[in-house]
Amino acid sequence: MYALKNETRGHVRVEIMLSKRETEVMNTVYEISHEKGVCLISPAELLSMLPAGRGYTEAQVEEILNELALDNYFELLSSERKGEKMFVISLRTNGYAFKRCFAQMKRDAAVKMLWAVASAIVAFLVGVILKRIF
């Protein structure tokens, strides 16, 4: 399932879908940093926390992190510690709201599916009643 990007353009709120990879990376970042709001992590550590079968590379993860930072989910700083590249990630408002928006999106999808099934059943019943009448 995918999460929504929330952007405000003027007075209109635009909702754009996050890709599956962006959602997985954002979920991992959220799990690491939601308690304190900030974390210090190396690309290797982040890669080890992501689903193994997806074939992420450090370059892909860094690109995804930069895109999520541009979408205002968190602030991303790169630094070095003992010669190893490190990411300093500070959650922003969209980052803290990530889980809530994700759950809300799942509920909305379930309601739409239920509505579609109910509409199909009603259409079928109306068809059967009309056949019996005529």
Question: What pTM was estimated for this model as a whole?
Answer: 0.70
Give yes or no for a contact between 122 and 97, defined as CB atoms under 8 angstroms apart: no
The model's pLDDT over 9-40, given as tens digits with 9 standing for 90+, comes to 444 444 557 888 998 999 999 999 988 999 99
CB atoms within 10 A of CB 22: 19
Class of the domain covering 4-106: mainly alpha
Q: What is the pLDDT of residues 35-89, one digit of tens each?
A: 899 999 999 899 999 988 888 888 999 999 999 999 889 999 998 888 889 999 9
Going from N- to C-terminal start, the domains of the chain cover 4-106
Can you give the pLDDT at residue 103? Answer: 86
**Of 53, 47, 49, nearest in space to 31 by CA:** 49
Q: What is the pLDDT of residue 18?
A: 83
